[in-house]
Amino acid sequence: MKVIRSVKEMQNTMLEQKSSGKSIGFVPTMGYLHEGHLTLIKQARRENDVVAVSIFVNPLQFGANEDLSTYPRDFERDSQLAEESGADYLFYPDASEMYPRPLAIKVTVGDRTDVLCGRSRPGHFDGVAAVLLKLFNIVVPDFAYFGMKDAQQVAVIDMLITDYNIPVTLKTVETVRESDGLAKSSRNVYLQPNEREEAVILNKSLNEAREGIINGERDPEKVLSFMRERIQQNSSGTIDYIELYSYPELKPVKEIKGTIIIALAVKFTKARLIDNTIISI
């Protein structure tokens, strides 16, 4: 696996690969790789001639009071894991390489962002869209792989690709979970031992809600208040949001039908965890 830190070198290398007829699978990450990322890399490996992974903690997607400076980083471990999972190229630019000057042309995401993490993290998805526009132009992938844990991110990227006619196909991969159901996340390391135990209720309550809907519940408010109670009674975390929308449009629904998402974010002492379930009925 080759590590490349320069934008120009990465772009030239990828364009060469592409012009020799190779398909490129791309897994963009912010590093501190866990099994969720490795699943994406392995799937990209199975489906492409060339696999590129990027590690870039993108400052544009962090708010002023968020965890940019403390976001976990471990390049040595990440590069070993990326290589073992099948990456051919690891793009690892620093912030001045990606943003030599502040962007003069900004990306503003105008839909699917007034709810869930978009509401709690104003500007977050503008930063995600901006960095992905750059990364897609640098890596020129045929396929880009994203985990469904960030379902709102997937809904936004789907719109970005459509609105800007980016010649890449979005591939999504199911959330990878610990054996007790907790969604894998780079931020799980910040949970205190009791919080780690309590955090199981996040996925559990989503599964219970799913079961209720499969068994006939159609009232979003009933589903959400049931989940709120379950989480409040079983964890010390503070609920940031628990919401239910149509998916991928992320519009409120009066009655549960079609494809919907139930998504939640819960804040623990040093980690804010997200999880979701998508149900089609």
Residue closer to ligand PAF (CB basis): 10 or 128? 128
Q: Do the annotations mark residue 273 as ligand-binding?
A: no
Q: Do the annotations mark residue 153 as ligand-binding?
A: yes
Instruction: List the one residue out of 217, 194, 182 whose CA is nearest residue 268.
Output: 194
User: Rounded distance, CA 51 to CA 81, Å?
Assistant: 14
Residue closer to ligand PAF (CB basis): 126 or 198? 126
Residue closer to ligand PAF (CB basis): 30 or 107? 30
Contact residues: ligand PAF, CB under 6 A:
28-30, 58, 61, 128, 131-132, 150, 153
What tokens does 65 get?
């009071």
Residue 155 burial (CB < 10 Å; 0-12/13-18/19+)?
buried
What tokens does 235 get?
């964890």
Please report how close the Cβ of residue 118 comes to ligand PAF at its closest, in angstroms: 13
Please report how close the Cβ of residue 143 comes to ligand PAF at its closest, in angstroms: 14
Please report how close the Cβ of residue 148 comes to ligand PAF at its closest, in angstroms: 11
- The per-residue DSSP string of 209-277 comes to HHHHHHTT---HHHHHHHHHHHHHHH-SPEEEEEEEEETTT--B-SS--SEEEEEEEEE-SS-EEEEEE
Pick the catalytic residue from 4, 37, 140, 273.
37
Q: Do the annotations mark residue 43 as ligand-binding?
A: no
Instruction: List the one residue out of 179, 112, 143 whose CA is nearest residue 28.
Output: 143
Residue closer to ligand PAF (CB basis): 134 or 230? 134
Q: Is residue 153 a contact partner of residue 58, using CB atoms and an 8 Å limit?
A: no
Q: Do the annotations mark residue 147 as ligand-binding?
A: yes
What tokens does 148 get?
């469904």
Q: Do the annotations mark residue 187 as ligand-binding?
A: yes
Q: Does residue 37 carry a catalytic annotation? A: yes
List the binding residues for ATP: 30-37, 147-150, 176, 184-187
- Which residues have a catalytic role annotated? 37
List the binding residues for beta-alanine: 61
List the binding residues: 30-37, 61, 147-150, 153, 176, 184-187
